[in-house]
Amino acid sequence: MSNLESILKDFYDCLDIPIQFVNEKFIPIYKIGFSKDIDLVLEKTNIYNNLKESTISSINLTYFENIHFIVTPLTDTRFNGYFIVGPFKSKYICSELNIPFKPYSCINYILTMLKSIIKGQINKDNKFNPYIKDSIDYIHKNYASTNMDDICNYLSINKSYFCSIFKKETGYTFTNFLNKFRIEKSKEFLKNKNFTILDVALLVGYNNHNYYTTLFKKLNGITPIEYRNNLKAS
């Protein structure tokens, strides 16, 4: 398990609030505690568009019906990006959405807890392998066309060694990490109704839309069409 995943797991185990880590482009990399209701709230709040890359300090974002997100940046490691805590509600409200409740007075405590967990995990290992950071940066820029051979050639590194250190430091095999990233990226394209499912599959690097649909459902519990329909309904 990677340090980032450990941070998310420890935080969720302590506070039972959904949490995710997104990269500098606000594409989710890891998440825990999410459900269809949580995804729906994310779409309604459009939180990713409200975050700016210039964000350098922790912030509390409040939306309709006292629904909150806490955002704190992570820099100077192999993963630059943001931890996003939430959504959670600060008042008991009548709603069909199943999201956790935490009193407003706890917001500072929640942030303090997150920062403490981050500090503890990051301090465990400050010697990050530069190959992994470079490979992830390469994936972010070339996700639709890249493969392991391309990256190993780019890094001038042995494939077996690369596979070993990538799994050790990220918690994922290269293929699983790339698939996860592509599927998350595809959600942006699914918002554009002018793209067919095949168009979206091709845009993120899959020539077979059936394979893309299978992967999407495996990672999200619903098909791309169902995901798009949920966006329309919201």
Query: What are the structural domains of the chain?
Result: 3-122 (3.30.450.240), 130-233 (1.10.10.60)
State pLDDT tens for residues 217-234.
998 889 999 999 888 765
Predicted confidence (pLDDT) at residue 139 exceeds the cutoff of 50: yes
Whole-Å CA distances, 125 to 13, 99, 118, 119, 129: 22, 34, 12, 11, 10
Tell me what pLDDT residue 53 has. 47
- pTM greater than 0.75: no
Tell me what pLDDT residue 225 has. 94
Query: Which residue has better confidence, 111 or 98?
Result: 111
Highest mean pLDDT among 5-19, 22-36, 64-78, 125-139: 5-19
If you average pLDDT over residues 47-60, what whole number do you get? 70
* Cβ within 8 Å of residue 175, ≥6 positions away: 148
Tell me what pLDDT residue 177 has. 93
Q: Which is nearest to 81 in space by CA: 131, 123, 19? A: 19
Query: Which residue has better confidence, 133 or 186?
Result: 186
The first and second tokens of residue 151, run together, are 């990256």
Residue 215: pLDDT band with limits 50, 70, 90: very high
Predicted confidence (pLDDT) at residue 1 exceeds the cutoff of 80: no
Contact 40, 234 (CB under 8 A): yes
* Type and span of the H or E element at 209: helix 209-220
Contact 14, 29 (CB under 8 A): no
